[in-house]
Amino acid sequence: MAGSLMGVAIRVENLTKFYGGPTGTKALEDVDIAIEDCEFISIIGPSGCGKSTLLRILAGLHGFDTGSAAMFDEGVDAPRDDVGVVFQTANLLPWLTVDKNLTLALEIRRGKAAAEAADVGAMVEMLNLKGFEDKYPHELSGGMKHRVAIGQALMQNPRVLLMDEPFGALDALTRDRLNIELLRLWQRDRKTVVLITHSISEAVLLSDRVLVLSERPGRLIADLKIDLPRPRDPSITRDMPAFGDHVVELSRIMGVV
Ligand SMILES: Nc1ncnc2c1ncn2[C@@H]1O[C@H](COP(=O)(O)OP(=O)(O)OP(=O)(O)O)[C@@H](O)[C@H]1O
């Protein structure tokens, strides 16, 4: 497993979360997860099972009722500077151009000098947005906006990247391309990544481990190690028998075959 000697980055123990108090909606129940530093984890599960809730708790955006959530041995109770978050919807500022949107979070968190020193050109290139640096969000396609949102998080060079279904709204080709870029980036920089996805094959392609949550209230029902060699190339990895085996196993766990 990647980073097996590097220690635990994220530890969640007996985590339970209600919306609206103990008589309200129970979103998560007794969730236990340990994620190693530099590990790539995907979380899958039925719609409404609590995946986004878990990610928001890890991002320090939601509280919880019982149990604990820690990042690098510190309790999570607020957003951290070394954690980048990418949400389902790209929340770009409409009055800023692509390159200004890309450095916005960096500027807010680390100051103007850090934003000016950042290599925006390399990020624009990586996101396949060359020629759109000076465009405003309303001039971009939905997929392009998502790419900028992912770029915003990556610009901060975070230690941990939390991604909530970031590719869900993208066309298949763009999604493939971003998967390849994400693999390349992760192989180069080895961040801890937690990805929420509805795509079993995407989870298998990208991850060291895939965690499966049950129907709400989300409980951890499977923790599958993905035994596929790295570096991974989608066109080669998807043809490996082990890839198909993992997809079938997860589909069975999810009850979709
Ligand atoms: N702010 C909120 N207030 C009340 N209930 C909420 C809130 N956010 C989420 N919930 C409820 O908590 C449960 C888990 O929601 P969550 O968004 O975490 O699920 P999810 O697995 O990410 O879903 P999806 O895959 O459809 O995005 C759902 O029943 C949802 O209705």
**Cα Rg for the chain, rounded, in angstroms?**
18
Q: What is this model's ipTM?
A: 0.98
42 close to 89: Cβ distance less than 8 angstroms: no
**81 CA → ligand 1 middle, Å:** 25
Q: Is the pTM of this model over 0.90?
A: yes
Q: Is residue 198 part of a domain?
A: yes
Q: In CATH, what number is assigned to the domain containing residue 76?
A: 3.40.50.300
Q: Is 49 helix (H, G, I), strand (E, B) or coil?
A: coil
- Contact 19 CB / ligand 1 (< 6 Å): yes
Instruction: Confirm or reject: Cβ of 177 under 6 Å from ligand 1.
Output: no
Residue 1 is assigned to a structural domain of this protein:
no
Write down the pLDDT at residue 1: 42
List, for the chain, all residue ranges whose pLDDT scores fall below the cut of 70: 1-6
Task: Tell me what pLDDT residue 207 has.
Answer: 96
Check residue 189 and give its pLDDT: 79
pLDDT at 140: 94
pLDDT at 4: 44
Report H helices in the chain.
51-58, 98-110, 112-117, 120-126, 142-155, 172-189, 200-206, 234-237, 241-254
Task: Report whether 31 contacts 221 (CB < 8 A).
Answer: no
In a domain, 169, yes or no: yes
Ligand 1 pocket, 43 CB below 6 A?
Answer: no
Q: What is the pLDDT of residue 229?
A: 95
Q: In whole angstroms, what is the distance from residue 9 CA to residue 106 CA?
A: 22
- How many domains are there within the chain? 1
- Residue 100 CA to ligand 1 center (angstroms) comes to 32
The whole-number pLDDT of residue 135 equals 97
**Rounded to an integer, what distance in angstroms lies between the CA atom of residue 38 and that of residue 160?**
8
**Does residue 222 sit within a domain?**
yes
Cα-to-centroid distance, 60 and ligand 1 (Å)? 16
Range of the domain at 98: 8-254
Residue at 52 is within a domain: yes
Domain assignment present for 137: yes
pLDDT tens, 226-250?
999 999 988 899 999 999 999 999 9
How confident is the model over 88-100, as pLDDT tens digits?
A: 888 899 999 999 9
Residue 210: name the closest of 11, 17, 33, 7 by CA: 33
Distance 125 CA to ligand 1 centre (A): 35
Minimal CA–CA distance to 234: which of 199, 183, 197? 183
Is residue 161 domain-resident? Answer: yes
d(C-alpha 107, C-alpha 29), whole Å: 37
32, 12 contact by CB (below 8 A):
yes
pLDDT number for residue 5? 52
- Lateral strand order in the sheet of 8-19: 25-36, 8-19, 66-71, 74-75
Rounded distance between C-alpha atoms, residue 115 and residue 212, angstroms: 38
Question: For residue 3, is it within any domain?
Answer: no
Measured between alpha carbons, how far is 172 from 74 in angstroms, rounded to an integer?
Answer: 38
The Cα 222–Cα 131 span in angstroms is: 44
